Structure 1
Amino acid sequence: MPQTKIAIFGRVFNSSVTPYVNNLINYLVERKVEIIVFDEFYTFLKKESNCPAHFSTFNNNEDLPKDISFMLCLGGDGTMLAAVSLIRDSGIPIAGINFGRLGFLANIPKNEIEEALNQILSGNYGIQERALLSVESTNKTLFEGENFALNDITVFRHDTSSMITIDAKINTELLNSYWADGLIIATPTGSTAYSLSCGGPIIMPGSGNFVITPISPHNLNVRPLVVSENITLRLKIESRTEKFILSCDSKSETLNTDTELTIKKAPFKVRLIRLENDSYFTTLREKLLWGIDVRNY
């Protein structure tokens, strides 16, 4: 039977997390799992934990082995979003251990690591595919080719209190000219993130939709709009500063207003590992505190 090979990706963590990381590494070593670690994170691990110094490393998508069983992300949802740039279209499944706060994506609690890994290494898990968005411009390569987002793609005003105008077309038909602080285009995964805080709806993963959510629109009749994931959205921005900010999950760039954007469904999906007792609606209730009312206690 071939040895299981996994990749580990993470970011700097505080000392309160160190015991959990030590237990994780010890568990994997005892199970004789072959481990390859993101190089920058490995440097930190060797200083802050009892991580052995003989693991292999990787730096980017190009040198990430394609024969690994899955990637294990140590951190919060932001760490999971960053991992998407490494995974890209390789089809490698991702599991996340939550060292952060909410944990919609990185949903394995840090005090249940061993139980969760027992299930994963035994093959007792499911795969949930999540759609992504891609963004392209008319005159430049965006985000050095990492122009896809699992959560959302957003345009913002730049260095001014004045609103911007966002002319939006769906395919070739005019949708609206948004006069607002910005516009969020979110996937179902991202519908519980920034879009939700701006009044957008929650969309169940796999529903085949995206949501377009304005940020502080001047016309209060302009509401979030759920659209088919198969549409192409074209944006042209007008601003007094002749600049605007484009964000793609955790990445951002400042662009000139002569840059028109095309946003559509990415040509690949991310594969999230979900354990047997994992439920999307349970996650919603727990993370959004549904049903919690101080009058009941």
Structure 2
Amino acid sequence: MPKPKAGIIYNDIKPTACQIAAEIEEMLVACGWNVAKATGLGGILQYASPESPVCHTSIESLVPPNFDKDIAFTLVLGGDGTVLSACRQIAPLNIPLLAINTGHMGFLTETYINQIPQAIEQLLAEDYEIEDRSMLAVRVFREDSLLWEALSLNEMVLHREPLTSMCHFEIQIGRHAPVDVAADGIIISTPTGSTAYSLSSGGPVVTPEVPVLQLAPICPHSLASRALVFSDTEIVNVFPATQNRMVMVVDGNGGCYIVPDDRINISKSQFNARFIRLKSPEFFRILREKLGWGLPHIAKPTSVELP
């Protein structure tokens, strides 16, 4: 009978992550597992440049060469950036991941370094739940040619270049009539991304299980331009409605320049990010711990006697 197989993806820039990755590999091998390792670097998106506008890496090509569908789970060691990268690497294989925080915020991570022994014990005993998070497929077309594509767990951002004026965006959501938004930029995000850039731009927080996407303008020119939440079954097409070149960024990680003849196509991906939860998911607890949402108010003063 073949040995079970696990994966490890780690941030090789951080010595702590490298050390912990080696220790976990040793632990799993001692328990009779085969281990495939890869760095998060393989999931980093590439940037196009004005001199090289096409920088195309297909979605499926980011899967590490030593990873396959026989992997039962993958441990991810790093911060939120490494988790985003790992999701792009293993989502096409439908592999669940356990994110272990060796970074700072750790909004997407499930556990910490000092809890690894217990986490490994639960993994091997299959004592966990899997929480699926929707992802976006972001594609840039010029006429009928595909220039750039990527999976996105958080958001797609299209914004003006520095030192240029405000831009116009023509946005068509499904079969609805196109709308024009005048702003410095727009954000289209998943529920997971609702607590990232979209939140800073005035968008609502959306709990992960709600099947929606949202559109949030960045510094809109009109008081009527507000965040919009819509079904994730709708396909979104964004057309630049200005002569200025724009910049598109996906998950704050990579992207390309957008010119007036381009079209950005955004849809819910067929692939999900699958997060291992060692205890029942509690989204409000994460909001409270990471963002301070819903904390009790400061105690009100007792009644004061008037002079």
- Counting only pairs closer than 5 Å after superposition, residues 40-55 of structure 1 correspond to structure 2 as none
1:170 maps to which residue?
173
Where does the alignment leave 5 or more consecutive residues of structure 1 unmatched? Answer: 43-58
Distance 1:136 1:33, change over 3 A: same
Structure 1 residue aligned with 2:132: 129
User: 1:292, CA displacement in angstroms?
Assistant: 4.2
1:74 aligns with 2:77: yes
Matched, 1:98 2:77: no
Alignment-mate amino acid for residue 38 of structure 1: A
RMSD of the TM alignment (CA)? 2.6
Instruction: Please list the CA deviations of residues 108-132 of structure 1 after superposition, one character each: whole Å capped at 9, or x if unmatched.
Output: 1122111112111110011111111
Residue 40 of structure 1 and its aligned partner are, at CA, apart by: 8.0
Distance 1:74 1:23 in 2: 12
Contact kept in structure 2, 1:77 and 1:103, CA below 8 Å: yes
Q: How much has 1:231 moved relative to structure 2?
A: 1.0
Contact 1:133 1:264 in 2 (8 A): yes
Give the number of aligned pairs: 278
Unpaired stretches in structure 2, ≥5 consecutive residues: 43-60, 300-307
- For 2:134 and 2:40, the matched residues in 1 are separated by 28
Which residue does the alignment assign to 1:11? 11
TM-score, L = length of structure 2? 0.82
Question: How far has the Cα of 1:175 moved from its partner?
Answer: 4.6
Alignment of 1:171-186 (within 5 A): 171-186=174-189
CA contact (8 A) 2:12 2:18 kept: no
Tell me which of 178, 187, 190 is aligned to 1:187: 190
Whether 1:141 aligns to 2:146 is yes
CA shift for structure 1 position 202: 0.8
User: Which residue in 2 is equivalent to 1:65?
Assistant: 68
Tell whether the 8 Å contact from 2:110 to 2:278 is kept in structure 1 after alignment.
Answer: no
The answer for the alignment partner of 2:303 in structure 1 is none
Q: State the distance in 2 between where 1:81 and 1:62 align.
A: 15
Question: Partner of 2:276 in structure 1?
Answer: 273
- Kept in 1, the 8 Å contact 2:238–2:264? The answer is yes
| Residue in structure 2 matched with residue 28 of structure 1 by the alignment | 28
Deviations 1:20-67 (A, max 9, x none): 44543443333232111116879xxxxxxxxxxxxxxxx942622221
Q: Which residue of 2 aligns with 1:244?
A: 246
The one-letter amino acid paired with 1:196 is L
Identity %, equivalent residues: 33
Separation (CA, whole Å) in 2 of partners of 1:130 and 1:273: 11
TM-score normalised by length of structure 1: 0.84
